[in-house]
Structure 1
Amino acid sequence: MKTEDLLREIESLPVEERARVADSVLKTLNPTESEIDKKWAEVAKRRLDEIKAGAVKPVSGQDVFDEIWKRFS
C-alpha cells in the first residue's frame, strides 16, 4: 500500500480512530521510557498526596511567572 493510499484510508476514519492512529504513530517516533514515566508518576502522586494532606500549598502558575518576571526584569 502506498503512503498516499494509507493517508486517504486514515482520513476516512472517525475522529476517535484517527486520534488512535496519530497517537500510535507518535509513540513510534518518541517511544516512552517506562522507567522514567514510572518515576514521574511516583513524583506526581507524592506531590498530589502532599497537597491533599495540606503539607504544601499549591502556587498558581500566574504567581510563578510573576515572580520570574520580577526577578529577571
Structure 2
Amino acid sequence: MTTPVDELAVEVLDLPAKDRAKILELLINSFEPKSQAQQAWTALALRRRDEVRDGKVAMLPGREALQRVRARIA
C-alpha cells in the first residue's frame, strides 16, 4: 500500500528538473531559515545558474578563469 508521501514523490519525480529544483529549494528552506546574507548568495548563485542555462553567459574551465584572474592582479 502506498502512502500519500510515496504518491507525492512519484508526482514530483515526473516534473521537469527546473520544477524539482524549485521544490527542493523550498523544502530545504523549510528546515532552517537562512540569514539575509545566505539568501543573497543563494539568489546570486541561482541567477548565475539560470544565465548559464539560458545561454546568456558562457562558462570557462577553472584553469582559464584562474589565469585571467592572476593576469588582472599581476
- TM bin, normalised by shorter chain, reads 0.3 to 0.5
Task: Using structure 2 for the length normalisation, give the TM-score.
Answer: 0.46
- Determine which structure has more spread, i.e. the larger CA radius of gyration: 1
Greater relative contact order: 1 or 2 (C-alpha under 8 angstroms, separation 6 or more)?
1
